[in-house]
Amino acid sequence: MRKVVLYIACSVNGKIARKDGSVDWLENLPNPDKDDYGYAGFLETIDTTIMGNKTYRQIIGWDIEFPYKNKTNYVLTRNRDKADDQYAKFISDVPVSFIKILKSGEGKNIWLIGGGQVNTLFWNNRLIDEIRVFIMPYVLSEGIELFEGLPDEMQLRLIRQKKFTSGVVELVYTPDYQD
């Protein structure tokens, strides 16, 4: 069975983006070692991404080539009129059932990119198998929470942690789902 991995950066106070969805603050953090924090290696372990429509629009809005064009990309949206485009397939009907079928299929792991509402949907439906969160040495006064809305209360198991010279800390957890 494929794993869904939430691989994400957040501020010390749990924000994954500014209120408008911008992640420009990540670009301004000192990184003297030019570390990619394991990103290239992580990309090799996945063949599929899932994200919310706001996150997708943010990525498309960057002035770069679409970064996941060699992956299968799904965008969860409430808009039933969204047509698939050159980069992504839009899912508006019963996303939980769709994800369960996707997880049971063949392939590499699935990257849950976010945002906060999608993270909570996955969390509350016990679809996240691993959380790799990078705590960035930054505080955002306003922004999008790692889990927006009302996430279920649940214990996590710390699998490993790594500290970088930049002050970034990677924490890897598995949920302790009690079914």
- Return the half-sphere exposure (C-beta side, CA atoms, 13 A cut-off) of residue 177: 11
Is the four-CA dihedral 111, 170, 57, 44 of positive or negative sign? Answer: negative
Domain 4-175: assigned CATH number: 3.40.430.10
Cα gap 55→50, rounded to integer Å: 10
Whole-structure pTM value: 0.95
pLDDT grade for 82, boundaries at 50, 70 and 90: confident
Give residue limits of the domains in the chain.
Answer: 4-175
| DSSP result, 53-67 | HHHHHHHHHSSS--T
Apex 37 CA angle, 32 and 41, nearest 5? 135
Residue 177 pLDDT > 80, yes or no?
Answer: no
Q: What is the mean pLDDT of residues 67-71?
A: 96
